[in-house]
Amino acid sequence: MPITINRIIHRGIPSGLAIKAAIIYNDYCKRKAYNLDKSVGMIKARTALFGKFAPEGKNILDLATGRGFLLAEAAKRNAKLVIGIEASDKMLDEAEQTFAKFESQTKVELVEGDIFSLKDIVREITNENLDLITAANIFCFLSKTQREDIIKQSLEVLKPKGILAVLSRSIDNGTLPTSWNEKEKELYSKTLLGTGNFLECVGWQTNDWKKLFLNNGFKNFGFFIGSKETDEELIGKELNPDQEVVLNENVIFWGEK
């Protein structure tokens, strides 16, 4: 059956990060300059994510959902409910188009709002707690305090044994990708964060992620490679949570409530 999409505007006061993100990604949509969700690495990472945390019959929230790249796959795999929070209304317009391309019985809620209001947004939509919260390439723009805020709010809306899965691109060579032009480097290193510490955030060691989850209330922690140009056999394989290396790949860090 055709998928049913409910579009919501959350009326909370947006954070400075949400305001900046809306401006930037609305501009990306206007210029058709955003193509991260079409990259082979991201598609592999999505497959690895849902290979480990199956979405069938689950309630799922995606933070900074963009075009609905993750949630559309969850709906195709028969999730019960998917909620996407996104600051950019233009991105949500494109997300609607993403969902319109296939049929599903999944209930879809697309929310124009601030990820730092995730607890209030979830409670506006459902009284049920969530099985899975995903966040792809957003934690790299957050300070340690902001990350902790997301962690704590996530715990309040997750079911027992519910999962928060963070997909993060880690960079271990001290520089932004050479393929980025100066404008992109400026956007990512200063405009979104306002602090110029993008490299510091994406350069976290595994143990930093472990402390973030376990010190803020999660019971279990782990991580695995979402996509890798070499050693394909490592994709989706759970790695030693005490391994202290920065992986220059798409890595999925997860915590279990």
Instruction: Provide the pLDDT for residue 185.
Output: 59
Give CA–CA dist 241/222, Å, rounded: 5
Instruction: Provide the pLDDT for residue 189.
Output: 53
Domains of the chain are 4-256 (3.40.50.150)
Residue 76, beta-bridge partner list: none
Instruction: Provide the pLDDT for residue 191.
Output: 44
Give CA–CA dist 190/181, Å, rounded: 14
Q: What percentage of the chain reaches a pLDDT higher than 90? A: 49
Instruction: Provide the pLDDT for residue 187.
Output: 56
Q: Secondary structure of the chain in the HEC alphabet?
A: CECEEEEEECCCCCCHHHHHHHHHHHHHHHHCCCCHHHCHHHHHHHHHHHHHCCCCCCEEEEECCCCCHHHHHHHHCCCCEEEEEECCHHHHHHHHHHHCCCECCCEEEEEECCHHHHHHHHHHHCCCCEEEEEEECCHHHCCHHHHHHHHHHHHHHEEEEEEEEEEEECCCCCCCCCCCCHHHHHHHHHHCCCCCCHHHHHCCCHHHHHHHHHCCCCCEEEEEEEECCCCHHHECCECCCCCCCCCCCEEEEEEEC
Give CA–CA dist 254/225, Å, rounded: 11
User: pTM for the full model?
Assistant: 0.86
Confidence class for position 195, pLDDT limits 50, 70, 90: very low
Look at 79-88, 97-106, 109-118, 129-138 and tell me which has the smallest mean pLDDT.
97-106
75 pLDDT more than 90? yes
Summarize pLDDT for 144-161 with one digit per residue, the tens. 889 999 999 999 999 999
